Amino acid sequence: MPHSSTIALITGANKGIGLETARQLAASGITVLLGCRDESRARSALDGLRAHGRDAHVVTLDVTSAASITAAAARIGEEFGRLDILINNAGVMLHGRDGPLSTTGDDALRETFETNFFGLAAVTRAMLPLLRRSQAGRIVNVSSILGSVAEHADPNSTIHSAKFLGYDASKAAVNMLTNHLAHELRDTPIKVNAAHPGWVKTDMGGEGADLDLETGARTSVRLATLPESGPSGGYYHLESHLRW
Ligand code: NAP
């Protein structure tokens, strides 16, 4: 039986920007599937959403595990029949192990890419058949302004000195994937865009960050709910275009 409401999968939805994105989407009547590598970590998030009457479900999903991705796609297909929104939000930054090339090991580079790029690519490929069944599929790739080569090359940019090679290069790769996938899907109703949430107070962003969670989730929510006339293949923070 096809599901009537819009169905959104958010990866890394047990905390931080992912959970807040799920909250905001669910508050607008969207069915949210909380992608989470450890189901027990999503339990209180799920209970909180359901206590507010939201339609929320946990989907076990470790973006670095091919078996986990295959199982998640099969389950969503069986239970919901399609996917309308995919938010690739799961990400890591290896604080203390990531930095300039000379002091960042291959292990740190590979570990970061495994989640931020290869995981995102594999999840997206696995979910595409379900998104193609939607009348208005939307893919949001949670990138970062730190993935912008133009910002890194500009000595006047506020992020000019934020050189974390593994993280920054992985997000630049996410930006390239966004561009290529938007091209591949140009004749379909599916839109794909990259989001910079801002510097947000989370476990990753830290307490000194500028933005609260509510604002930090807004870019993902906007891109997930774009109208038919909306853009595809762009890179945004809130309403603004970022330089690649
Ligand atoms: P966070 O609080 O550290 O949350 C990261 C989420 O990703 C957690 O739910 C984590 O799950 C999940 N995750 C990590 N590896 C995973 C894997 N292999 N499989 C499934 N889930 C995995 O970070 P956040 O600040 O909310 O970041 C969310 C996204 O925004 C990331 O892509 C990040 O790069 C991006 N971003 C954040 C900022 C910022 O200032 N905070 C700025 C720019 C971009 P566990 O709890 O199981 O670890």
Take atom 10 of ligand 1 and give the residue whose Cα is closest: 12
Confidence band (pLDDT; 50, 70, 90) for 71?
very high
Q: What is the pLDDT of residue 104?
A: 98
Domains, the chain, in order of start with CATH, read 7-96+120-145+173-241 (3.40.50.720)
| Helix or strand run (H / E) with residue 184 | helix 165-184
pLDDT, mean of residues 59-83: 98
Please tell me whether residue 200 adopts helix, strand or coil conformation. Answer: strand
pLDDT digits (tens, 9 = 90+) for 207-242: 999 999 999 999 999 999 999 999 999 999 999 999
Q: How far is CA 45 from CA 29, 42, 59, in A?
A: 17, 5, 13
Encode pLDDT of 16-40 as tens digits: 999 999 999 999 999 999 999 998 9
Q: From ligand 1's centre to the CA of 226, what distance in Å? A: 23
Q: What is the 3-class SS of 44-111, one letter each residue?
A: HHHHHHHHCCCCEEEEECCCCCHHHHHHHHHHHHHHHCCCCEEEECCCCCCCCCCCCHHHCCHHHHHH
174-205: pLDDT as tens digits: 999 999 999 999 999 999 999 999 999 999 99
Question: Does residue 66 surpass a pLDDT of 90?
Answer: yes
Q: Which residue of 63, 92, 236 sits with most ligand 1 atoms within 8 Å of its CB, as the best mutation to test the pocket?
A: 92
| Percent share of the chain, pLDDT over 90 | 97
235 is catalytic: no
Return d(Cα 235, Cα 179) in angstroms, integer.
9
Question: Does pLDDT of 108 surpass 80?
Answer: yes
Q: What is the pLDDT of residue 121?
A: 99
Provide the mean pLDDT of the chain: 97
User: How many Å lie between the centroid of ligand 1 and the Cα of residue 46?
Assistant: 17
Question: Are 85 and 117 contacting, i.e. CB atoms less than 8 angstroms apart?
Answer: no
Going from the Cα of 1 to the center of ligand 1, the distance in angstroms, rounded, reads 33
CA distances from 240 to 49, 60, 162, 219, 222 (A): 30, 33, 21, 10, 12
At residue 211, the pLDDT reads: 98
List, for residues 93-106, the tens digit of each pLDDT value.
999 999 999 999 99
2 band by pLDDT with thresholds 50, 70 and 90: low
> Phi and psi (nearest 5°) for 194?
-105, 140
Instruction: Give me the residues paired with residue 140 across strands.
Output: 87, 193
Closest CA to 215 of 235, 226, 200: 200
Compute, in angstroms, the gap from residue 221 CA to the centroid of ligand 1: 16
Lining residues, ligand 1, CB within 6 Å: 11-12, 14-18, 37-38, 41, 61-64, 89-92, 115, 119, 142, 144, 196-197, 199-200, 202-205, 209
pLDDT (0 to 100) of residue 27? 97
pLDDT computed for residue 153 by the predictor: 98
pLDDT of amino acid 150: 98
Give one DSSP letter per residue of 1-28, joined into a string. ----S-EEEESS-SSHHHHHHHHHHHHT
